[in-house]
Structures are given as structure tokens and as C-alpha cells.
């Protein structure tokens, strides 16, 4: 059974999802950086870029959002979508019809209704869509398409047929509607209030669109807590624990209208020990920020994130097994597959993911590993695709991500190494300083030079490599002194005139420059 644990702090809300008492998902929303996904705006077309078939839309923020031609509703060739749980997902390229050029559909300074489908990630602006979705407890209204559907997670054909019959009876005229997973087993009487509320909400959005003069907010989606209650708090969740009395009352009020039977599963935590610490979650969150994750057997996986992809490497570590090498490798790979599926969800890793499992000799073991990973990924709400295991034991997979992954949400690039994870060694910087000094003497006639470097580099130049420094000074008939600067970066080197203590013209070429 699943369980939610919610920690509400003055500036931050954390929502943890547990499965079998293990943390599998964590949502962190800070007041200073709230998610805008689901919000609907009146936007103005600021510019159109035919080369990428997209437009930049001003919705009232410093950075424009971008809208692809495939995300514009009502255009022939752009309606080839699969709908599930209220999300419009383009079909495979081979299945789509060709859409007309975006410059023939919208014009500069035109106003258009858009919805945020993905928050800003790094330097990218918000991803926008013109396929508007208004989610309710049991259904999702899609006013810009004429589409009826049932969540693919409802597998019973008999139940799907029953829900489709209800859909035809409750749908507002001309509007699309999807039944969510929570609709399973519900009656028409349960759906009717939900659909009527969404229809009224859509009319309000349209009225705001007409009355607002410039780029502006038309509809704001629920906050993170009620959004989780609406979208994910279903019968398979055994308990929800929250440490805020105000939010607890709001949850009970919301459930009173849509799912009164779930109210008894909500618990208010009043203990003095922070709820995440009490539930053993703080240590799990800390581990999710580490590069290396240890397995129970003694093996481990390493997770490295790059601009292009995420690489996950599996190692046996201390695990030696009890039978033979193939059995040891299989056990490590199977355990790693389960942990990788959990870490992918927990860290919200997205894009291309390459997993380097330990190579196995037998095809049956490869099939068993692939099956285990597929089964574990079924619990993930995000859409994933996966390749077969290659001869080298690697699997390529993709995963759709909407928000910042956990590491990027809770961390920032190291200001010292600037995110690379590496800096030049003391030895490298010692030799670099000597080469740059030699180059400087070829360009400058300064007789007395002061070399400013990091204390560790200065120590090498004064002791172990003093003979090299003296040899350069003697060759060019110059005087050289070394000064350590405590606040220098390891890669900082500066050349000053010993007489004036001013930088020597041309002395900073090919040099990283002073720290700060």
C-alpha cells in the first residue's frame, strides 16, 4: 500500500510518497519558486521562429514561454495526440500528419490562450500548450478538443465500456472529457458534479480571456497539497500524514465534497520531532543527493548527470555471492534494477538514461533482468520507453520529466569547480604557472615579477619545484618572487610588477584570472 507524508514549513512544502515504507517520490515546492504547471494565461505572441516552428509567448513574466506548432489546437495536422490523465502527448512522428507552418497559423502581437505544460528548466523558458486541460477529481475537461477517453491505467474492458457510456451522457456539448483512474467503480452521480464544476470553471476562464486587456493569468491551478489530493489520493493509498493543522482542515474540506470515505485515512501529526525525521525520511532525502547508492548485497550504483544524458553504472562492490560469478552478477543486476527504478522516480530523472549493467553470459539471465526492470518501472507515473539489453549489458531508456529533478531542485552548481566536479591539480597548476611565466618573459621587459598563486601552488614553487622557477629566472635574467593568496582559486594565477604591484600588461593572457 502507498502512503503520503507531508511536511509544511513556512517557506517550503515537501510531499513524500512511500511504497512498502520506502521513499519513492518527493515533491518539493518553495514559495520563492512555485510551479506554474497547469496555470492558464492570456498570452501575446512576441516573436515567431519559423526555423524551429515555434513562437515565443509573453505571458507577463520576464522570460517568454515557447509554443511549438504541434501544441496549437484546432489546426489540421496538429491534433494527432494520445490523451491520458489529462495530458496531451504527441503520437510518434511516423504516425503524425504534417502540420502547416506556424507563421500561417498565428501572427506577431496576436493574443492566444495558453497553459503551462512544463516549468522553466535551466536556460529554457516555460513550455506552453494551447491544448487546455482542466482536471477534476474523476475527470479532465479538454475544451479545445472533441475527444472522449478513459485512463489507460483502467485495464478492465468491461469497466472501460461502462465509463465510456457515462462519458457520452455527462460530457458538455462540444467539449472533450477523459475519465481519470480515480473514476474506476464510480457512478454517473459521482461524475455529474465534477463535470458541472469544470464546465463552470471553463466559462469563467473564457470570460477572463475576453475581459483582460494584456498578458495575464486566467486561471491558477491548485497548490501542491490539494493537487496531490485531487490527482493521486485514491483507494490504494492507505494513509496520509500531515503536520499542518490548517492544511489538514483544507484537505478534509476538499475530500468532503469529492471523496468523504478517504477522510478517515488522513492523520494530523502533532509530535515535536519533525515528521520527516520521525518517519526516517530525512536520511533518505540526503541519500538521494549522493552520486553513489549502495545496495543491500554490498554492490552499488553510480548516477552521473550530464547535459546530454544520465549515465547509471552498476558495480558488484563488496558482494561476492555464494555460488559462481554468473549468479553473483545476476543477483547484483536484479537488485540494481529495483533500486534504479526507485531512484529514477525519486530523483525525477528525465531525458535519455543509459544503464550499464554488469555483463552476463546467458541470454535467459538478460531476459530476467529486462523483465524485472520493466515490472519496477510500471509503478512510475511518468512515461518511459526502454530498449533491449545490448551485448555490452547496457539498456537505453527515456523518461518524460515535467519539473526540476530532485538534485537540481535541492542543489546548485559548486561555485569552486563550477559544476564540473573537477579542478586542476596542484601539480598541473604549478607547471601551468611556470609555462605562463616563461611566455610572459617573452612578451614583457619587466625585470622584477611577482607571481601570485593559490597557497598550495605557492608551496610547490618555493620548495619542490624551486629549481625550475630559478632556471627560468636565470635564463631570462629576471627576478621572480612568489606570493600565496589565500582567497585565490586553485586555478588562479596573476603576474604583477614587484616594484608597483600592478598587473603586467599582457600578463593575464591564457590565465584564468583572479578569484572573485
Residue range 491-512: mean pLDDT, rounded: 77
Q: Which three cell numbers stand for residue 410?
A: 535541492
**pLDDT category of residue 335 using cuts at 50, 70 and 90:** very high
Predicted confidence at residue 350, as pLDDT, reads 87
**pLDDT category of residue 191 using cuts at 50, 70 and 90:** confident
pLDDT at 431 over 90: yes
Predicted confidence at residue 174, as pLDDT, reads 84
Q: Which three cell numbers stand for residue 347?
A: 530523483
Predicted confidence at residue 411, as pLDDT, reads 83
Measured distance CA(170)–CA(193) in Å, rounded? 10
Q: Which three cell numbers stand for residue 419?
A: 559544476
Predicted confidence at residue 186, as pLDDT, reads 86
Measured distance CA(139)–CA(415) in Å, rounded? 46
Residue 140: its H or E element: strand 139-142
**pLDDT category of residue 506 using cuts at 50, 70 and 90:** low
Predicted confidence at residue 402, as pLDDT, reads 60
pLDDT at 123 over 80: no
* CA nearest to 85, candidates 182, 198, 202: 182
Which position has the higher pLDDT, 249 or 401?
A: 249
Class of residue 234 by CB neighbours under 10 A (exposed 0-12, middle 13-18, buried 19+): middle
Task: Let me know how long the chain is.
Answer: 516
Measured distance CA(224)–CA(229) in Å, rounded? 9
Question: Grid coordinates 509573453 are at which residue?
Answer: 58
Residue range 329-343: mean pLDDT, rounded: 92
Measured distance CA(53)–CA(45) in Å, rounded? 13
Predicted confidence at residue 1, as pLDDT, reads 80
Measured distance CA(266)–CA(269) in Å, rounded? 10
Q: What angle do CA 26, 386, 73 make, to 5 degrees?
A: 75
Phi, psi of 223 (to 5 degrees): -70, 175
Given a contact cutoff of 8 angstroms between Cβ atoms, the answer to whether 119 and 402 are in contact is yes
**Predicted confidence (pLDDT) per residue in 105-121, tens digit:** 999 999 999 999 988 87
pLDDT at 22 over 70: yes
8-22, 68-82, 126-140, 422-436: least confident range: 68-82
157-171, 312-326, 329-343, 466-480: least confident range: 312-326
> How many other C-beta atoms are found inside a 10 Å radius of the C-beta of residue 415?
8
Residue range 356-380: mean pLDDT, rounded: 90
pLDDT at 491 over 50: yes
**Predicted confidence (pLDDT) per residue in 295-316, tens digit:** 988 889 999 988 789 999 998 8
Q: What share of the chain is helix, strand, coil (3-state, %, to 5)?
A: 35, 25, 40
**Predicted confidence (pLDDT) per residue in 224-276, tens digit:** 999 999 988 988 899 999 999 999 999 999 999 888 889 999 999 999 999 99
Given a contact cutoff of 8 angstroms between Cβ atoms, the answer to whether 366 and 387 are in contact is no
Predicted confidence at residue 97, as pLDDT, reads 59
pLDDT at 286 over 80: yes
**Mean pLDDT score of the chain:** 87
pLDDT at 94 over 50: no
Predicted confidence at residue 122, as pLDDT, reads 67
**pLDDT category of residue 161 using cuts at 50, 70 and 90:** very high
pLDDT at 380 over 50: yes
User: Is the torsion defined by CA of 353, 359, 361, 364 positive or negative?
Assistant: negative
User: Is the torsion defined by CA of 68, 73, 76, 77 positive or negative?
Assistant: positive
**Predicted confidence (pLDDT) per residue in 33-43, tens digit:** 788 999 999 99
What is the percentage of the chain residues whose pLDDT exceeds 70? 91
pLDDT at 516 over 50: no
* CA nearest to 32, candidates 56, 51, 58, 12: 12
Sheet holding 176-179, edge to edge: 134-135, 139-142, 176-179, 148-150
Amino acid at each position: 500500500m502507498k502512503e503520503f507524508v507531508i511536511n509544511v514549513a513556512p517557506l517550503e512544502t515537501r510531499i513524500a510518497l512511500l511504497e512498502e515504507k520506502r521513499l519513492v517520490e518527493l515533491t518539493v515546492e518553495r514559495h520563492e519558486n512555485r510551479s506554474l504547471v497547469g496555470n492558464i494565461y492570456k498570452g501575446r505572441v512576441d516573436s515567431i521562429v519559423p526555423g524551429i516552428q515555434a513562437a515565443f509567448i509573453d505571458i507577463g513574466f520576464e522570460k517568454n514561454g515557447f509554443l511549438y506548432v504541434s501544441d496549437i489546437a484546432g489546426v489540421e495536422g496538429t491534433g494527432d495526440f494520445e490523451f491520458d490523465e489529462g495530458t496531451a502527448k504527441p503520437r510518434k512522428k511516423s504516425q503524425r500528419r504534417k502540420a502547416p507552418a506556424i507563421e500561417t497559423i498565428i501572427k506577431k502581437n496576436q493574443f492566444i490562450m495558453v497553459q503551462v505544460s512544463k516549468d522553466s528548466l535551466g536556460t529554457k523558458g516555460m513550455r506552453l500548450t494551447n491544448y487546455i486541460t482542466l482536471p477534476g477529481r474523476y475527470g479532465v475537461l479538454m475544451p479545445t478538443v472533441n475527444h472522449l477517453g478513459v485512463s489507460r491505467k483502467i485495464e478492465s474492458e468491461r469497466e472501460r465500456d461502462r465509463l465510456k457510456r457515462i462519458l457520452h451522457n455527462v460530457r458538455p456539448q462540444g467539449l472533450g472529457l477523459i475519465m481519470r483512474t480515480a473514476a474506476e467503480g464510480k457512478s454517473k452521480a459521482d461524475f455529474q458534479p465534477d463535470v458541472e464544476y469544470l464546465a463552470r470553471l471553463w466559462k469563467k476562464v473564457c470570460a477572463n480571456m475576453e475581459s483582460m486587456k494584456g498578458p495575464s493569468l486566467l486561471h491558477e491551478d491548485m497548490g501542491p497539497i490539494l493537487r496531490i489530493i485531487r490527482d493521486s489520493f485514491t483507494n490504494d493509498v492507505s494513509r496520509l500524514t500531515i503536520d499542518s493543522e490548517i492544511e489538514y482542515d483544507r484537505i478534509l474540506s476538499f475530500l468532503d465534497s469529492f471523496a468523504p470515505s478517504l477522510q478517515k485515512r488522513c492523520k494530523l501529526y502533532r509530535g515535536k520531532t519533525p515528521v520527516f525525521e520521525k518517519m526516517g525520511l530525512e536520511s533518505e532525502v540526503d541519500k538521494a543527493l549522493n552520486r553513489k547508492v549502495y545496495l543491500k548485497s554490498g554492490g552499488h550504483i553510480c548516477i552521473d548527470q550530464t547535459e546530454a544524458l544520465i549515465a547509471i553504472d552498476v558495480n558488484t562492490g563488496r558482494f561476492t555471492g555464494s555460488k559462481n560469478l554468473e549468479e553473483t552478477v545476476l543477483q547484483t543486476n536484479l537488485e540494481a534494477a529495483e533500486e534504479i527504478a526507485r531512484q529514477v522516480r525519486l530523483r525525477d530523472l528525465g531525458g535519455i538514461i543509459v544503464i550499464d549493467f554488469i555483463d552476463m553470459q546467458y541470454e535467459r539471465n538478460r531476459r530476467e533482468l529486462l523483465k524485472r526492470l520493466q515490472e519496477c518501472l510500471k509503478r512510475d507515473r511518468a512515461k518511459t520507453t526502454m530498449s533491449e539489453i545490448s551485448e555490452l549489458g547496457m539498456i537505453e531508456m527515456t523518461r518524460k520529466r515535467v519539473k526540476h529533478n530532485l538534485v537540481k531542485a535541492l542543489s546548485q552548481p559548486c561555485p569552486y569547480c563550477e559544476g564540473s566536479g573537477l579542478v586542476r591539480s596542484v601539480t598541473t597548476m604549478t607547471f601551468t604557472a611556470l609555462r605562463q611565466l616563461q611566455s610572459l618573459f617573452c612578451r614583457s621587459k619587466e625585470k622584477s615579477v611577482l607571481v601570485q598563486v593559490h597557497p598550495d601552488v605557492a608551496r610547490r614553487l618555493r620548495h619542490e619545484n624551486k629549481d625550475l622557477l630559478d632556471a627560468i629566472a636565470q635564463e631570462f635574467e629576471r627576478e621572480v618572487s612568489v606570493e600565496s593568496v589565500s582567497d585565490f582559486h586553485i586555478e588562479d594565477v596573476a603576474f604583477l610588477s614587484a616594484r608597483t604591484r600592478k598587473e603586467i600588461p599582457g600578463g593575464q593572457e591564457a590565465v584564468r584570472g583572479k578569484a572573485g
